Amino acid sequence: MNWQAVADAVAWFYLGYFAILGVASFLLHACSLIEVPRQLELGLPELLPRPHSGYEPPVSVIVPANAGRSRVIASIHALLRLEYPEFEVIVVNDGTSAGTLEALIREFSLVRFPGADRRQIETRHVHGAYRSSSYPNLRVLDKDSGGKADASNAGINAARYPLVCIVEPDSILERTSLRRAVMPFLSERNTIAAGSCVRVADGCEVRNGFIEEIGLPAKILPMAQVVEYLRSFLFGRLGWAPMNSVPIVSGSFGVFRKESIVAAGGYRQDTPGEDMELVTRLHRLNRLSERPYRIAFLVSPVCWKSAPASPGVLRDQRIRWQRGLAESLVRNRELLFHRRGGAAGWLMFPFMVMFELLSPLIELSGYLFMIAGFALGFVSAAAFWSFLLLVVSLGVLLSISALLLEEISCHNYRRPGNLFALVSMAIVENFGYHQLVLWWRLQGLFQWATRSAARVPRITDA
Amino acid sequence: MSDLRVAIAMWGAYAALATTLVLLAAVLAMRVRFLHRLTRERDAATFWIPLIARCAETGSTTLPPLPKKDADDFVLLWCRAMDPLQGEAQDRLRDMARHLGADKHARRMFESRSLRRRLVATAALGHLGAQDLAATLQTEIASSPPMPSLVAARALIRINPAAGVRTALSVAARREDWPVPSVTTMFKECPAELIAPALASAIRLAISRGDDHGVARLLRLHVTADAPAIRDAVRDVLAACSDTEVLAAALSALSHPGDIAHARRLLAHPEWFVRVAAARALGRLGDENDVARLTTALRDSSWWVRRRAAQALLLLPGMDASKLADIASLQTDRYAADMLRHTVAERCVT
């Protein structure tokens, strides 16, 4: 066998991969640039009367509570102060620590309540329903522990209103979050789901459960995630919106039309990435049955979350995300290149497979190949360095273009020095952090491929 | 590796770096522009808001000239001040705008290519009653994207309420991209006596065209009109249309106890959401004769019909918790009893 020929072919493969990645990213960026002005146009409501006419659809806000009692209670207090004409908050007590239900009963004057909910989605046993005598729009369900997906499904069963908003207890919202998130449902009646950018709350000033002033974290890991989130949301999700192919609505905050989520069977309980799996399934079911639908994505952030600050927690999160991604794509593989799949099946799905699912394998093996080739002498120094330069410069380009989208759309980071810090991190994260995350994602891919039984703990999501 | 691949990789990397530098320069330029705009807007607001407030209150303030750099911001601040005001205060602010030459500036903004400037100008010229723009606005209402067309409709209604309402209603019947809440809010700003006849004739026109979807959209605007004034139109719809979406919308618009027969008849409709609307109508307009009907509806196969029937029973005259408890105890259907108990408990808690 001619080893040099094999090495040449492999080198062409990696070069081709990064070239296609560059072109695809450029096109996604262009799509984001189309979407941002459209959304900014919707954001000029000061010229029109506020649409608080009673026709704004009421919303059931569902909180699958699996966090500690103090966090859940603080979150409920903040949710009850949201600015929205009509909404209810349904807290699903799902295997929280002992005493959480009693604390909720005391804090919100809950009383036991006869239930008459439809069980449209199968869930673990619900022991009882409670209603607050202090806050008429607050209900609590107490059920057997079944995980976030099961708790969300129980909340959906109990929801009274046509729109359901799934919120994790550690999500920090803005007072107007719900009003903004409902806008896509008002402007287009085929909208079945709306997600939004999620931002890192570390470094922000939070008062009474709401963001008061936006800032950047001081620690390096959360700071790297700020840039990563900008890239992931403003680029990797917003860019798909004009093609109606948004790949994921974050589990931290998402608004859905209840009847669509019920018709799809609710959240799957046997996948670690239930939020992405649901959205991919909605694409598959609606595209294949040729039902008109729209999954919207909002450029302005309506939800903020603390980012993992320790490498161990971040590692577990990325492993779980990668496993969730793999499960979502494999379970909905019928969408891939289906004749009725449209942009979701012919563009988004292959992109997710090539540049999200397989990227840890391809990129890391590319690094290893170049390093080994350089060491063994079949890759020249010029080829080695030009490959590294290409990879790093593409990474920096993607981060800076996300910063540009942020600057066009939101101007969130306004403190002096914020822009310099973001640009610096957009460069620095390509030297070490990016590769480390790739390694963790590769572990996730391996665990999924080998169906590793090791349970990865659930932590903060985006 | 061949020189070709090295060259491709190098040139690819150079292209990425060059693009990065261009984007970085764009980011910096936009940040500088943004900070400059923030400062300008803040300064304009600090200076002009107190003057606008004094003018609206007394009208006798000595006004400085309007600098060109403040003109755009002033027009926006002025529009925002106009919205909640009525009567003489609005007249005084109109005088202020004309005195400062803001009306002429708004006309220049109206010709701008910037959407934001055009929208602000449209709103301002609507407040100023620019009659000569009526024809242009009518074209915008029919053909522009949703946001500019709604702003144009609102401006036209201010310039010529009768013509504006007629145009906006005819467009609202066919424009799917006009959110009903926005249209509702816009019409709520108009006198109800102006809306009702226009809405009634628009509904009849849509019926005569066989435009069921338009009829349903128009019926959803019923809250903007005086209920008795559109009663005949709603009855015409119920007599002439069989489309389920239209029937449900018409039941929601039923407002007179004399029309209760329609709700009673449609409580047995095969489509569940028509039965839901009928149950709600019976809750609003029904009497003790409807107890048996609604009790039967408690056993409906649709959860929403059961829910609305239980709520309607609670609203009927002479109903109280003990009577409902009696009805619940007589139910042989578990779902009916559960729903009734749940709804009664809900009412007791709230």
Inform me whether the pLDDT recorded for A43 exceeds 80: no
Confidence of residue A1 (pLDDT cuts 50, 70, 90): low
Inform me whether the pLDDT recorded for A19 exceeds 90: no
Q: How far is A49 from chain B (nearest CA, A)?
A: 6
Write the residue in A48, A397, A408 that is nearest to B150 by C-beta: A48
A15, A120, A386, A389: best to mutate for the B interface, most B CBs within 10 A: A386
Question: Does any domain span residue B182?
Answer: no
Question: Does any domain span residue B346?
Answer: yes
Distance set, CA A116 to CA A134, A406, B188, B312 (Å): 22, 46, 37, 16
CA diameter of chain A: 79
SS3 of B249-283: HHHHHCCCHHHHHHHHHHCCCCCHHHHHHHHHHHH
Comparing CA positions, the residue from B213, B222, B218, B151 lying closest to residue B182 is B151
Confidence of residue A48 (pLDDT cuts 50, 70, 90): low
Establish if A424 touches chain B: CB-CB under 8 angstroms. Answer: no
Mean pLDDT comparison of A28-37, A410-419, B82-91, B123-132, highest-scoring range: B123-132
Which of A202-216, A217-231, B14-28 is least confident?
Answer: A202-216
ipTM of the modeled complex: 0.83
Residues of chain A with C-beta less than 8 angstroms from the C-beta of B20: 393, 396-397, 400
pLDDT at A234: 85
B23, B184, B335, B350: best to mutate for the A interface, most A CBs within 10 A: B23
pLDDT in tens, B92-103: 999 999 999 999
φ, ψ of residue A303 to 5 degrees: the values are -145, 140
Between the CA atoms of A261, A263, A264 and A267, what dihedral angle is there, to the nearest 10 degrees? Answer: 50
A14, A25, A47: best to mutate for the B interface, most B CBs within 10 A: A47
Residues of chain A with C-beta less than 8 angstroms from the C-beta of B307: 116
Q: Please, which residues 127-156 of chain A have a Cβ atom closer than 8 Å to chain B?
A: 131, 133, 136
**Beta-strand pair A138-143/A163-167:** unpaired
List of chain B residues with pLDDT < 50 = 350
- CB atoms B349 and A113 under 8 Å: yes
**Beta-strand pair A138-143/A253-257:** unpaired
Question: CB count, 10 Å around CB of A406?
Answer: 25
How many domains, in total, are found in chain B?
1
Residues of chain B with C-beta less than 8 angstroms from the C-beta of A404: 23, 26-27, 30
Q: Which residue in chain B has the smallest CA separation from A19?
A: B12
Confidence of residue A453 (pLDDT cuts 50, 70, 90): very low
The ranges assigned to domains in chain A are 1-57+162-462
- CB atoms A47 and B182 under 8 Å: no
pLDDT at A9: 85
pLDDT at B1: 53
Establish if A3 touches chain B: CB-CB under 8 angstroms. Answer: no
Question: CB count, 10 Å around CB of B267?
Answer: 26
Confidence of residue A270 (pLDDT cuts 50, 70, 90): confident
Write the residue in A111, A113, A394 that is nearest to B16 by C-beta: A394
Question: Does any domain span residue B278?
Answer: yes
Fill in the DSSP letter of residue A305.
E
Q: What is the mean pLDDT of residues A260-267?
A: 95
Question: Does any domain span residue B288?
Answer: yes
Establish if A11 touches chain B: CB-CB under 8 angstroms. Answer: yes
Comparing CA positions, the residue from A325, A81, A302, A65 lying closest to residue A195 is A302
Q: Which residue in chain A has the smallest CA separation from B151?
A: A48
Q: Which residue in chain B has the smallest CA separation from A43?
A: B147
pLDDT at A133: 86
Question: CB count, 10 Å around CB of B110?
Answer: 18
Q: What is the mean pLDDT of residues A119-126?
A: 89
pLDDT at A460: 40
Question: Which tops the pLDDT comparison, A134 or A97?
Answer: A134
Establish if B180 touches chain A: CB-CB under 8 angstroms. Answer: yes
pLDDT at A459: 41
- CB atoms A53 and B79 under 8 Å: no
Write the residue in B1, B186, B303 that is nearest to A383 by C-beta: B1
- CB atoms A419 and B176 under 8 Å: no
Residues of chain B with C-beta less than 8 angstroms from the C-beta of A379: 1
pLDDT at A116: 66
Q: Assign B110 to helix, strand or coil.
A: helix
pLDDT at A50: 57
Residues 6+ apart with CB under 8 A from A163: A57, A58, A59, A60, A182, A185, A255, A256, A257, A258
Residues of chain B with C-beta less than 8 angstroms from the C-beta of A12: 5
- CB atoms A383 and B9 under 8 Å: yes
- CB atoms B177 and A188 under 8 Å: yes
Q: What is the mean pLDDT of residues A368-392?
A: 88
Establish if A47 touches chain B: CB-CB under 8 angstroms. Answer: yes
Residue pairs between chains A and B whose CB atoms are closer than 8 Å: 161
Q: Please, which residues 399-418 of chain A have a Cβ atom closer than 8 Å to chain B?
A: 400-401, 403-404, 407-408, 411
Establish if B177 touches chain A: CB-CB under 8 angstroms. Answer: yes
Establish if B33 touches chain A: CB-CB under 8 angstroms. Answer: no
Confidence of residue A174 (pLDDT cuts 50, 70, 90): confident
Residues of chain B with C-beta less than 8 angstroms from the C-beta of A53: 181, 184-185, 188, 223
Q: What is the mean pLDDT of residues A434-452?
A: 91
Write the residue in A42, A53, A397 that is nearest to B188 by C-beta: A53
A53, A121, A140, A179: best to mutate for the B interface, most B CBs within 10 A: A53
Name the burial class of residue A74, with classes exposed (0-12), middle (13-18) and buried (19+) by CB atoms within 10 angstroms of its CB: middle
pLDDT at A44: 62
- CB atoms A114 and B12 under 8 Å: no
Q: How far is B70 from chain A (nearest CA, A)?
A: 19
Distance CA A82, CA A175 (A): 5
pLDDT at B2: 63
Query: What's the predicted TM-score (pTM) here?
Result: 0.82
Tokens of A171: 């999500």
pLDDT at A462: 40
Question: Does any domain span residue B166?
Answer: no
For residue A210, what are the β-bridge partners?
Answer: A207
CATH assignment of the domain containing B303? 1.25.10.10
Q: Which helix (H) or strand (E) holds B96?
A: helix B87-100
Domain range for B292 is 256-350
Write the residue in A18, A48, A397 that is nearest to B154 by C-beta: A48
Inform me whether the pLDDT recorded for A229 exceeds 70: yes
Question: Which tops the pLDDT comparison, A409 or A38?
Answer: A409
